[in-house]
């Protein structure tokens, strides 16, 4: 057994850490942004269907594989299937962890800068409109490289402390804080004058939008991203569980909390947005929350305090997610190459930082904001490749691997160790063998032709 692996101190510790991985910028920044671009409530509806029928079974499957093999994705796949093409799952995991972290940390870096502005009064005293504030802030290359690097550095420090003293301890401290902050902000937001229009936009689906393959694709991709699925993050976290720890209820809790928090974020953003004159949810793109919310905070009584709370919340949520992104390639180096944890953290951290620079520079105008080959920014290219393609494809491979290669019988036996409960091995086996992979496959085909 490699000695630098580590394990969770307790089952609640695992649940907090895995929830910490799931809950992140994907919920609070990504979900409302996508709802804004994807036409409101119709997107929410598709998202929920994807979470329940496609993603939840895969999430349980990933945790089961990890607990069974006691190894990260590449090792786990090899233990179950020494031959065959399944090793691509391990490769995808390492690549996705590294590259997603490289653009994720850029947004996290903005978040910390906004926190700083809120604390130092810079949000209120800034005379420019907040849209301009976001444009100016995101265009400042050197400052963003600094904050992105800072965030990656902090993540590396925590991951280097190991599973129990680093990841579990950080999640225990931060997840409760996050939840309290979210609820306070949601209450504040839905009691604003004019909040009703935002609620209607958010909750009343325009069903003519619901069958648009673009929107379905975005919703499914978003569900994978938000639940940290399709790249073995939950295989990795599951591998630090003791074989006797039950995973069924834990997995349901992770799905439930992650989805609740994404929905709550919508209750914060849309009422707040629509309470500002001239708000257009479709036009904002990645700047949605960074442009909309500061305007609100600047005008509300006590708004700066709420602003500071919000950006603190966002930083905290991002941090417990970047930890899990980094842990996937780090666990791979520890398991497969027998590297010491410290060396793995340093190597992956340095590579990720270097690769984050083109994402940082996607916002200032210049080469990376108008890539000739893709007609868009490097940052958008990254989001698109990983969020909308790689994770769903990874999820499809993982579900095929679990359902057909590991096999319904063996996988079911592993689930039976938990005793009776929901979902039953038969129901889960059906979903992961037939429903999840077919749905993802169809989605991919439709998006190719559509």
Return residues touching ligand PHE (CB under 6 A). Answer: 21-22, 24-27, 100, 225-226, 228, 231, 233, 321, 324-325
Degrees to nearest 5, angle at CA 194 with 191 and 196: 75
Nearest approach, Cβ of residue 48 and ligand PHE (Å): 16
Nearest approach, Cβ of residue 27 and ligand PHE (Å): 5
Nearest approach, Cβ of residue 424 and ligand PHE (Å): 27
Please, which residue, 107 or 133, has the CB nearer to ligand PHE?
Answer: 107
Please, which residue, 274 or 310, has the CB nearer to ligand PHE?
Answer: 310
Please, which residue, 252 or 300, has the CB nearer to ligand PHE?
Answer: 252
Please, which residue, 321 or 362, has the CB nearer to ligand PHE?
Answer: 321
State how far the Cα of 408 lies from the Cα of 423, in Å rounded to an integer.
Answer: 14
Strands (E), 284-404: none
Nearest approach, Cβ of residue 366 and ligand PHE (Å): 27
State how far the Cα of 139 lies from the Cα of 161, in Å rounded to an integer.
Answer: 34
Q: Cβ distance 344 to 330 under 8 Å? A: yes
Please, which residue, 25 or 56, has the CB nearer to ligand PHE?
Answer: 25
Nearest approach, Cβ of residue 43 and ligand PHE (Å): 16
Nearest approach, Cβ of residue 50 and ligand PHE (Å): 14
The backbone torsions φ and ψ at residue 278, rounded to the nearest 5 degrees and listed phi first, read 80, 15
State how far the Cα of 326 lies from the Cα of 44, in Å rounded to an integer.
Answer: 29
Nearest approach, Cβ of residue 372 and ligand PHE (Å): 29
Please, which residue, 222 or 275, has the CB nearer to ligand PHE?
Answer: 222
For residue 212, with 0-12 CB atoms within 10 Å meaning exposed, 13-18 middle and 19 or more buried, which class applies? middle
Nearest approach, Cβ of residue 77 and ligand PHE (Å): 17
Please, which residue, 151 or 274, has the CB nearer to ligand PHE?
Answer: 151
**Nearest Cα to Cα of residue 202 among 101, 129, 270, 143:** 270
Q: How far is CA 254 from the centre of its chain?
A: 13
Q: Cβ distance 412 to 64 under 8 Å? A: no
| Residue for token pair 């695992």 | 14
Please, which residue, 92 or 210, has the CB nearer to ligand PHE?
Answer: 92
Tokens matching residue 421: 């409960």
Tokens matching residue 15: 């649940």
Other CB atoms within a 10 A radius of the CB of residue 203 amount to 14
State how far the Cα of 368 lies from the Cα of 365, in Å rounded to an integer.
Answer: 7
């Amino acid at each position: 057994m490699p000695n630098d692996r580590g394990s969770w101190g307790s089952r609640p510790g695992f649940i907090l850490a895995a929830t910490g991985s799931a809950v992140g910028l994907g919920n609070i920044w990504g979900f409302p942004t996508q709802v804004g671009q994807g036409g409101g409530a119709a997107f929410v509806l598709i998202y929920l269907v994807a979470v329940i029928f496609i993603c939840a079974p895969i999430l349980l499957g990933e945790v089961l594989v990890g607990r069974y093999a006691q190894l990260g994705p590449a090792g786990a796949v090899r233990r179950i299937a020494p031959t065959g093409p399944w090793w691509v799952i391990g490769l995808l995991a390492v690549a996705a962890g590294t590259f997603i972290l490289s653009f994720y940390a850029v947004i996290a870096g903005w978040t910390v800068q906004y926190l700083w502005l809120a604390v130092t009064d810079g949000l209120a005293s800034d005379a420019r409109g907040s849209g301009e504030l976001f444009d100016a802030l995101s265009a400042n290359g050197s400052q963003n490289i600094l904050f992105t690097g800072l965030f990656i550095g902090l993540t590396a420090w925590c991951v280097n402390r190991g599973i129990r003293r680093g990841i579990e301890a950080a999640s225990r401290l931060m997840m409760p804080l996050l939840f309290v902050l979210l609820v306070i902000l949601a209450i504040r937001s839905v009691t604003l004058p004019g909040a009703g229009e935002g609620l209607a936009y958010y909750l009343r689906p325009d069903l003519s939008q619901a069958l648009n393959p673009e929107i379905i694709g975005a919703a499914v991709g978003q569900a994978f991203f938000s639940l940290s699925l399709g790249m073995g993050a939950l295989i990795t976290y599951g591998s630090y569980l003791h074989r006797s720890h039950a995973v069924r209820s834990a997995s349901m809790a992770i799905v439930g909390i992650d989805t609740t928090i994404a929905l709550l974020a919508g209750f914060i953003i849309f009422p707040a947005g629509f309470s500002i004159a001239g708000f257009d949810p479709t036009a904002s793109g990645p700047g949605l929350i960074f442009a909309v919310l500061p305007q609100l905070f600047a005008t509300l009584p006590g708004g700066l305090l709420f602003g500071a709370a919000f950006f603190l919340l966002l930083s905290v949520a991002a941090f417990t997610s970047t930890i899990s992104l980094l842990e996937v390639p780090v666990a791979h180096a520890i398991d497969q190459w027998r590297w010491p944890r410290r060396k793995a953290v340093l190597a992956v951290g340095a590579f990720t930082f270097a690769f984050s620079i083109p994402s940082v520079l996607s916002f200032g105008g210049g080469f990376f904001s108008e890539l000739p080959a893709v007609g868009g920014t490097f940052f958008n290219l990254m989001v698109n490749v990983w969020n909308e393609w790689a994770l769903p494809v990874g999820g499809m491979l993982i579900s095929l691997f679990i359902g057909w290669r590991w096999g319904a019988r063996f996988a079911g036996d592993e689930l039976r160790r938990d005793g009776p409960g929901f979902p039953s091995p038969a129901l889960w086996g059906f979903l992961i063998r037939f429903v999840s992979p077919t749905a993802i496959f169809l989605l991919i085909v439709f998006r190719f032709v559509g």
